[in-house]
Structure 1
Amino acid sequence: MHDSDANDEDETLAESVLVEAIENQLEAGEPAVTQAVLNKLTLVGHPRDEAVHLMALVLADEVKQMMRDDRPFDGERYERLLRDLPDLPEAGE
């Protein structure tokens, strides 16, 4: 297996874990903003799977910032970035 194949597999696994996390948030209703954002995105024409993918990208960004800054999960930042969708966060936002 080539390194690029392993990286592709890692990215696919990471994406599926993040999508599953969003689906779990939707099922649990926590945070409540996830369902509101999904409703907004589908209302403006994004297919459900695309909307969930966008939300997973926001979760990935928050996790990346957590690790970079060595800090706990920032629920307020996460909610703000979700509400900004379909605009994705800028690097270092």
Structure 2
Amino acid sequence: MGNQPNSSIVGKVIIEAVENQLAVNHPPKVRKTLDRLLALGISHEEAIKYIACALSVEVFGVVRDSEGFNPERYDNNLECLPDLPWED
């Protein structure tokens, strides 16, 4: 367990990645998702956290399962928010 990053650091990095995606508008679906969540009355901070949850599914898939980033799955998970990708 010594080489595993602290979960709060990982969370901050994923939030930063979402903010970077918003700054460069890539993928554009991230901005559309943020706007949609804000329109639902979700706060900006919470909306960013929801988007980070969708991104974390991809990050952990890449790290844990050694699979490539799946933009289609990321897009689908963004579309489902505020339902979280692991909720059924």
Band the TM-score falls in, shorter-chain normalisation: 0.7 to 0.9
Could you list the per-position Cα deviations for residues 53-83 of structure 1 after superposition, in whole angstroms to 9, with x for gaps in the alignment?
Answer: 1111111111112233321100110011011
Residue number in structure 1 paired with 2:30: 34
The CA RMSD over aligned residues, in Å, is 2.2
- 1:19 and 2:15 are equivalent in the alignment: yes
Q: Which has the larger radius of gyration?
A: 1
Q: Which amino acid aligns with 2:53?
A: L
Deviates more, 1:10-19 or 1:63-72: 63-72
State the SS of the aligned residue for 1:72: coil
- 1:56 and 2:56 are equivalent in the alignment: no
Q: Kindly, what percent of the aligned residue pairs are identical?
A: 34
> Where does the alignment leave 5 or more consecutive residues of structure 1 unmatched?
none
Distance 2:60 2:8 in 1: 16
Runs of 4+ in 1 over 6 A off after TM superposition: none
**Number of residue equivalences:** 86
Shift of 1:20: 0.4
Residue number in structure 2 paired with 1:81: 77
Normalized against structure 2, the TM-score is what? Answer: 0.88
> Where does the alignment leave 5 or more consecutive residues of structure 2 unmatched?
none
